[in-house]
Structure 1
Amino acid sequence: MSNEIANNRKARRDFHIGDTYEAGVELKGTEVKSVRAGKVNIADAFARPEGGQIFLYGCHIQPWETAGAFFQHESRRPRRLLLHKKEIEALEHALQAKGSTLPCLRMYWKNGRVKVELGVGKGKSHTDQRHDLKKRVELREAQREVARFNRQ
């Protein structure tokens, strides 16, 4: 069983990621079953502090098919993240800067528990995104040339 549950590749494309934090996720029983089945989408997931706690929004966990209506969970409900008090205060302080956000980078298993990696991000402009793409293309071409040279 792979440790990686879901990965948000759009987050690193759209944001300059600074510090990263690991947080536990408070889940219901049917949510854990859906996560084990890999039915998670974190493409639009982000975290926000509220009342001294951090909540995860936009994380879509599909309802479990065989659960009854009483035990079923909402697919996009806000989920509380489990962090130490000092980490919560540091995140609240980091989000005071204009344009800062807290996107969810990936979701994974660690010691039988679901963890989320959050990154303090600042939005990229379209020119920054184009610059990153150009840098990747140049690096790929240089690697091809080195490989071609080594083959000869």
Structure 2
Amino acid sequence: MKIIALNKKATYDFSILEKYEAGIVLLGSEVKSIRANRVNLRDSFIKIIKGEAFLFEAHISTLGTTNMHYKPDEKRPRKLLLHKKEIDKLYGKSQVGGFSIVALKLYFNTRNKAKLEIALAKGKNLHDKRESLKEKIQNREIAQSLKEFSRR
């Protein structure tokens, strides 16, 4: 599995509850751009419209080798491929109590298909963000001390 893009901001701003793997409908030039790591998922989100899931605000820039007459919009909505039950479950939970659906990472699976990992998430408050930063710093210090101890 080759990870192309990560959305680090999503894990900072949201607490992740459930993860799903979704296929993504792309054009040929977009696949080439993804293989060249020209993707940004920073402010992307997923909306469910008329029973179909769409990815919004994901930036896939075009390559210089793309045909001049046909350049797709870099931030166009892209359809996600999910099972009907998954879409219904996500839609039901996203309508209740401040839950959001966010994109976490874009990668190619073993069959060279572009996949998007999405998650049902709940927004963090400021004090939750501070707690996660403290926890991250503590884990880093523990790892460093273990590394130093193993050198001796």
TM-score (norm 1): 0.91
Instruction: Give the aligned partner of residue 18 of structure 1.
Output: 17
CA-to-aligned-CA distance 1:92-147 (integer Å, 9 cap, x gap): 11102221111100000011111000010111111101011112222333344444
Structure 1 moving runs of 4+ over 6 Å: none
CA distance in 2, matches of 1:151, 1:36: 39
- The answer to whether structure 1 residue 135 and structure 2 residue 131 are counterparts is no
Q: Percent identity?
A: 39
Q: Distance in 2 between matches of 1:22 and 1:89?
A: 15
> Does 2:85 correspond to 1:90?
no
- Structure 1 residue runs of 5 or longer lacking an equivalent are none
- Asked if structure 2 preserves the Cα contact closer than 8 Å seen for 1:64 and 1:72, the reply is no
1:4 aligns with 2:32: no
Shift of 1:149: 4.8
Q: Which residue of 2 aligns with 1:72?
A: 71
Structure 2, unpaired ranges of 5+: none
Instruction: Give the total of aligned pairs.
Output: 151
Matching residue's letter, 2:101: L
Structure 2 match to 1:120: 120
TM-score w.r.t. the length of structure 2 is: 0.91
By how many angstroms is 1:37 displaced? 1.1
In the alignment, is the contact (CA less than 8 A) between 1:23 and 1:116 conserved in 2?
yes
SS at match of 2:12: helix
Determine the structure 2 residue equivalent to 1:30: 29
